[in-house]
Homo-oligomer: A and B are copies of this chain.
């Protein structure tokens, strides 16, 4: 640099786009960033790594990496590895969904699927209907389109269609196109809610009458708990979609491992073609080794034969967590029984605010996600999402004991449910990030 042209280094933020200036860290807490020693984390929706099929992964990787098939590590087709594309219709058929290779695309995790769907189906200024509460990853991905997220109430049967009609009318009268309705019918993130069969049917009919697109996110459907649910209960909306108005998302992150970033979308062929173009500029293609490992797991039958073990393990953890909660906090916390999936949605009694409880909980060695992270309209302060999927049963019991101390303290012993502001702020900065 010639003398005289060297200027003081300015803040590079002057180069940011308007949308970057508006970007905020997701309100959801990334427990992985909280580095307190011996912390019990109920925050992230991580699968239990003791269920990962290490021996099989090693064996499969060994054979895939023998160099005989150079395409394993070459750039691959944007739509996905052909072997995986060909088996996805089989996986879908097991869930009652009729699909061909033309109806599927592989994505780099379901988060990419949400991002691509946002781009392909929503414009800035549109409205997107989401459940209250809903998955934070959908909130951020859909929010990036510049669309407005409009929350619809849900009850224990699922999305409240009377409220959906009110919201729909409100948004349309505001001049907004409603781009789609986003739902997680099976063991919803964060509530664990299982949409009833009749509500599924009613939702499809409701969407037909209003000619709306449904985006159905189903990462947990095969993880139902045998003691309270069956495969039939988690039958996807897409299985009964006779009008091509459901775009279906699912993933191998919960049943194989999330470190392999492999998920997929099933949708009408014309939509898949657009999603493919969007994926071309997003990342060209999903990892080749990851796609083949998942494919080979299916070919060996292991993906299916392992499901009962996964279901039993998560069911047991749910039971352990429920028992511990009943034992430690019989009056302070209530929850709907999780019938599958990873999450227990705790409702705290007044006057506890879960955002304010969090820093205290971290101080006591336990972390969760405050309910407010999942509500697009600012409510949710009395809820906490407790993921029972990741910690061991011993750690679940330890964590609930710690939580009980904090909650009881907040309820009375300390004389106030509102801790000092300073620690809240501190823990906040340590814990804010997106988690699954």
Contacts and interface: CB of A to CB of B under 8 A. Distances in A.
Interface in A126-148: 126, 137, 140-141, 143-145
Interface in A235-255: 240, 242-245, 253
A73 B20 contact: no
Contacts of A421: none
Given A61-B61, A205-B5, A54 B78 contact: no
Given A17-B123, A208-B7, A284 B137 contact: yes
B74 A46 contact: yes
A5 B209 contact: yes
Report how many copies the assembly holds.
2
Interface stretch (A114-122, A317-325, A338-346, A423-431): A114-122
A180 B15 contact: yes
* Residue of A47, A50, A290 with most chain B CB atoms under a 10 A cut-off: A290
A70 B58 contact: no
Given A208-B1, A242-B9, A270-B13, A111 B283 contact: yes
Contact of A115 (B12, B24, B242, B282): B282
Nearest to A262: B287
Nearest to A138: B281
Interface residues of A, number: 107
Contacts of A114: 281
Contacts of A278: 20, 23, 144
B7 A282 contact: no
A151 B257 CA distance: 44
Given A12-B245, A15-B121, A61-B58, A434 B284 contact: yes
A398 interface: no
A32 B290 contact: no
A78 B13 contact: no
A74 B58 contact: no
Contact of A75 (B44, B205, B274): B44
A394 interface: no
A403 B111 CA distance: 44
A280 interface: yes
A295 interface: no
Given A23-B278, A65-B58, A242-B9, A284 B436 contact: yes
Contacts of A284: 109, 111, 137, 434, 436
Nearest to A209: B5
Interface string A9-43: 11111111111100111100000110000000000
Interface string A213-257: 100000000000000000000000000101111000000010001
B282 A15 contact: no
B281 A12 contact: no
A259 B288 contact: yes
A348 interface: no
Nearest to A77: B32
Interface of A: 1-2, 5-7, 9-20, 23-26, 32-33, 44, 46-47, 49-50, 52, 54-55, 57-58, 61-62, 65-67, 70-78, 108-109, 111-112, 114-115, 119-123, 126, 137, 140-141, 143-145, 179-180, 201, 204-205, 208-209, 211, 213, 240, 242-245, 253, 257-261, 267-268, 270-271, 274, 277-278, 280-290, 433-436
Given A44-B75, A140-B281, 10 more contacts: A1-B208, A7-B243, A9-B242, A15-B121, A16-B120, A18-B123, A75-B258, A111-B283, A260-B288, A289-B290
Lowest 5 CB-CB distances: which A-B pairs, in order?
A49-B70, A259-B288, A73-B259, A54-B67, A73-B257
